[in-house]
Amino acid sequence: MQTYILDLKTLLTLLEEVEQNGRLSTILLSGIPGIKERCQAKVDLQEGKIVFCQIEGRDGHVFATGNQALQLLSQLGPQEWQLVEILQSGSLLPANTVQISPKNRRNLYTSDLVPQRITFIDQRTLNRLPLRHKHVLNLVDGTRSVGRIAAILFSSTDGQIIQQVGEILQELEAMKMIVIKS
């Protein structure tokens, strides 16, 4: 995984020159023009060309796709973009990960699924994380379940607490810092 702090137009020009394959993603803490909630942007590249672009909210609601999403992202200026190169057989994630669809996110975090770190995270990136995200990330070791992490942090396994931890894990997964093992 590589991190770039650039505006999208400059970054896409750079990645097109090297015919990069992979997924760019960023968490937009302040939202996008017209939508003031935290959301995530994803841009998939194949040989440096954009093949997919989408902006979605925390709950999985899609705000914009295609050229509309690209236009909104181009207005934002420099962002911290994570690039995950395409791995085996065209997959963006290791084979043992669980893809999280919006309709089953809530139930996923009440189960015994276990988050696992997938990459080294440099200090600069860690410093930019909110404190609660750092606390959760520190407990991700590939053996603790979502419920166990919630119990350690909050001395509770209440459904609402597990949901909060799950949302943080979802954001960490979107930043390609962790995956959820089945």
User: Which tens digit of pLDDT belongs to each residue from 136-171?
Assistant: 998 898 888 888 888 888 776 677 788 888 888 888
Cα distances (angstroms) measured from residue 143 to each of 58, 148, 181: 26, 10, 10
User: Which tens digit of pLDDT belongs to each residue from 87-135?
Assistant: 434 444 433 333 333 433 434 444 578 888 887 777 888 888 888 888 8
Sequence-distant contacts of 61-65: CB under 8 A, at least 24 apart: 61/102, 63/32, 63/35, 63/39, 64/32
Distance CA(154)–CA(142), nearest Å, equals: 19
Which bin fits 102, alpha (ψ -120 to 50), beta or left (φ > 0)?
Answer: alpha
| Structure confidence at residue 70 as a pLDDT band (50, 70, 90) | very high
Give pTM, 2 decimals: 0.49
At 124, list the tokens: 């600069």
> Regarding predicted confidence, which is higher, 45 or 96?
45
Helices vs strands, H then E, count in the chain: 7, 8
